[in-house]
Amino acid sequence: MEAADILITAPLPPFLYEPLKQAYRCHDYSQATDKPALLRDIGREIRGLVQGGGTVTPTELLDALPALEIISVFGVGYDGVPTDYCKRRGIKVTNTPDVLTDDVADVAVALILMTARGFVRANRFVHAGEWLKRSPELGTKLGGRTVGILGLGRIGKAIAQRVQAMQMEVVYTGRKPQDVPYRYVPDLDALARAADFLVVACPGGAATRHLVDARVLSALGSDGTLINIARGSIVDEDALVRALQAKTLRAAGLDVFDNEPNIPAALLAMDNVVLLPHVGSATRETRQAMGDLCKANLDRWFSERSVLTLIPELN
Ligand code: NDP
Ligand code: DGY
3-45 confidence digits (pLDDT tens): 999 999 999 999 999 999 999 999 999 999 999 999 999 999 9
Write down the CATH number for the domain with range 5-97+285-314: 3.40.50.720
CA neighbours closer than 13 Å in the CB half-sphere of residue 264 = 17
Average pLDDT, the chain: 97
Residues carrying an active site annotation: 231, 260, 278
Query: What's the confidence (pLDDT) of residue 280?
Result: 98
Between the CA of 203 and the centroid of ligand 1 the distance, in Å, is 4
Query: For 51-77, what is the mean pLDDT?
Result: 97
Q: Starting from the CA of residue 294, give the closest ligand.
A: 2
Question: Which residues does a 6 A CB cutoff place in the pocket of ligand 2?
Answer: 52-54, 75-77, 100, 280-281
Query: What is the DSSP annotation of 167-217?
Result: T-EEEEESSS--SSSSEE-S-HHHHHHH-SEEEE-S--SGGGTT-B-HHHH
Q: Starting from the CA of residue 291, give the closest ligand.
A: 2
Query: What's the confidence (pLDDT) of residue 313?
Result: 86
For ligand 2, mutation pick of 100, 286, 288 (most atoms within 8 Å of CB): 100
Q: Is residue 29 exposed (0-12), middle (13-18) or buried (19+ Cβ within 10 Å)?
A: buried
Query: What's the confidence (pLDDT) of residue 1?
Result: 63
For ligand 1, mutation pick of 109, 155, 212 (most atoms within 8 Å of CB): 155
CATH superfamily of 101-275: NAD(P)-binding Rossmann-like Domain (3.40.50.720)
Looking at the CA of residue 279, tell me the nearest atom of ligand 1: 40
Looking at the CA of residue 211, tell me the nearest atom of ligand 1: 19
Locate the domains of the chain by residue range.
5-97+285-314, 101-275
How many of the other CB atoms lie within 10 Å of CB of 245? 12
> Is the pLDDT reported for residue 314 higher than 90?
no
- CA distances (Å), 180 to each of 150, 172, 173, 201, 298, in order? 14, 10, 12, 16, 34
Query: For 163-188, what is the mean pLDDT?
Result: 98
Q: Starting from the CA of residue 278, give the closest ligand.
A: 1
Q: Report the Cα–Cα distance between both ends of the chain, in Å, rounded.
A: 28
Helices (H), the chain: 14-23, 35-42, 59-63, 83-89, 101-117, 119-127, 154-165, 188-194, 214-220, 237-245, 265-268, 284-304
Angle at Cα 219 formed by Cα 215 and Cα 223, nearest 5°? 130
Q: Are 275 and 263 in contact (CB under 8 A)?
A: yes
> Is the pLDDT reported for residue 315 higher than 90?
no
Amino acid at 301: W
The residue whose C-alpha atom lies closest to atom 1 belonging to ligand 2 is: 75
Between the CA of 17 and the centroid of ligand 1 the distance, in Å, is 27
Question: Which residues does a 6 A CB cutoff place in the pocket of ligand 1?
Answer: 76-77, 97, 100, 104, 151-156, 174-176, 201-204, 207-208, 229-231, 255-256, 278, 280-281
> How far apart, in whole angstroms, are the C-alpha atoms of residue 159 and residue 2?
44
Encode burial over 178-204: b for 16+ CB neighbours within 10 A, e otherwise.
eeeebeebeebeebbbbbbbbbbbbbb
Domains 5-97+285-314 and 101-275 share a fold: yes
> Is the pLDDT reported for residue 312 higher than 90?
no
Quick one: pLDDT band at residue 145, thresholds 50, 70, 90? very high
Tens of pLDDT, residues 217-256: 999 999 999 999 999 999 999 999 999 999 999 999 999 9
> Is the pLDDT reported for residue 2 higher than 80?
no
Tens of pLDDT, residues 185-202: 999 999 999 999 999 999
Query: What's the confidence (pLDDT) of residue 179?
Result: 98
Output DSSP code: residue 2.
Answer: P
Looking at the CA of residue 175, tell me the nearest atom of ligand 1: 48
> How far apart, in whole angstroms, are the C-alpha atoms of residue 235 and residue 211?
6
What are the residues whose beta carbons fall under 8 Å from the beta carbon of 126, sequence distance 6 or more?
none
